[in-house]
A and B are shown apart, each in its own frame.
Chain A
């Protein structure tokens, strides 16, 4: 649950935002970024449904690549309850 996931902000409504990563969308709170201005198209790191920081597109991309690598490793090696990659992580856990 401590894993931070980079997501792209799609739409903002008050303190709530619709964010996307790996083809999965989640509702994310921007309440912890009260002092930052976040706009649609920006990238944020999301912990348990809350954006904790704005990041660059490049930073988001390299983190996503890392998760994809983990997927490949898990697919090859893990035969029991493997750890899951970004898209599936979001599907299973609602973006934590």
Chain B
């Protein structure tokens, strides 16, 4: 990979692409790098780069966020969560508390953290008090949680685990036949932890070119070039355009720690539904640390729009790559980072938030 970004662009422009090619990425970090580097504008116009299911905050089940809010409001606990989760709205009537941030303002003991290490330290510092760690995230975040469990976890630290796996969402998308993409840029750090082999099914089962990419324009362009060459030459293989970091088999210690602490189960994705074998659940030996077992369930399935995206928000379509962020009707007017309607505008990994930050300020959909 000695070519620089400009040379990669030249190589891509030389390719005789006769038709439109849709390339999906499934990582908020990729979408951020693509958007911030302006790759869409630099590439030939018949190459479409589509953001897919790459934002764990966006698909974190609405009922899990609701449960975290209710726990913090009604139980005598400290609730810690990654900062991104605090502003995610749930679907409740107007006068009710609709986010962890609002629950905090209402007096609940809620603290944003940046690392499982902070959750451990906080629990150690107040051994008499129960600390609940609302742990949402993909493999790259859930593996550190597994490491924390494996190393040592204080008795008063409980987990409300909402970990998710990325590849089953792509598998579900491909199996549904609903979203057509011609090539996949596979996530760099998920592959670093879990191993690139997880993505072989895209090539082997669906005959779609795929390449693992890192987070620099050079690595992303190399991956795009690789998938285009595969398409043109009728070859299919999983390329690795981030070989310095992504090694065969991934991070063996991390995978062993995940396997020792968690089971893989069917799991709900907000606005999307249940995806088979796409979630992490604590192993029975960690039952004493499971907040869902310790506390009565505050889940209320009869709530209006429970589990769904907020009314009027098209995050589910954005997450599944069915529409671009600015194809949402309320993008940039009712929904902005300051007044987010949906989680895709809240999270740093949400495609709506990323596009806004890169300067796309209005919806493409005409407003009558």
Contacts and interface: CB of A to CB of B under 8 A. Distances in A.
A86 B315 CA distance: 27
Given A32-B254, A47-B141, A94-B114, A53 B192 contact: yes
B218 A78 contact: no
A70 B38 CA distance: 11
Most buried by B among A1, A2, A50: A2
Interface string A53-96: 10110010011011001100110011011110000000001111
B209 interface: no
Contacts of B28: 2-3
A29 B117 CA distance: 8
A52 to B, nearest CB: 6
A93 B83 contact: yes
A59 B244 contact: yes
Contacts of B253: 31-36
B32 A31 contact: no
A69 B357 CA distance: 13
A56 B216 CA distance: 14
A73 B143 contact: no
A81 B82 CA distance: 17
B141 A45 contact: no
A29 B214 CA distance: 22
A4 B140 contact: yes
A48 B82 contact: yes
B83 A1 contact: yes
B181 to A, nearest CB: 21
A31 to B, nearest CB: 5
Contact of B348 (A3, A31, A73, A94): A3
Contact of A2 (B56, B150, B358): B56
Contacts of B33: 66
Contacts of A69: 36-37
A81 B338 contact: yes
Contacts of B148: 31
A53 B251 contact: yes
Contacts of B257: 31-32
A62 B218 contact: yes
Contact of B36 (A2, A31, A70, A93): A70
B114 A2 contact: no
B116 interface: yes
Given A29-B144, A45-B245, A80-B337, A1 B57 contact: yes
B358 A50 contact: no
A48 B193 CA distance: 13
Given A3-B348, A48-B137, A56-B244, 5 more contacts: A29-B117, A31-B151, A32-B144, A35-B252, A52-B192
Interface of A: 1-4, 15, 27, 29, 31-36, 45, 47-50, 52-53, 55-56, 59, 62-63, 65-66, 69-70, 73-74, 77-78, 80-83, 93-96
The 9 A-B pairs with the shortest beta carbon distances in the complex, nearest first, are A49-B115, A94-B114, A50-B144, A96-B114, A93-B114, A77-B359, A34-B253, A1-B82, A32-B254
Interface of B: 27-29, 32-33, 36-37, 54-57, 82-84, 113-118, 137-138, 140-141, 143-144, 147-148, 150-151, 188-189, 192-193, 214-218, 244-245, 247, 251-254, 257, 336-338, 348-349, 353-354, 356-359
27 contacts: A2-B27, A2-B29, A2-B55, A2-B138, A2-B141, A3-B29, A3-B349, A4-B140, A4-B188, A4-B192, A31-B147, A32-B251, A32-B253, A34-B253, A47-B140, A48-B137, A50-B116, A53-B192, A59-B214, A59-B244, A62-B216, A62-B218, A66-B36, A80-B338, A81-B338, A93-B83, A94-B115
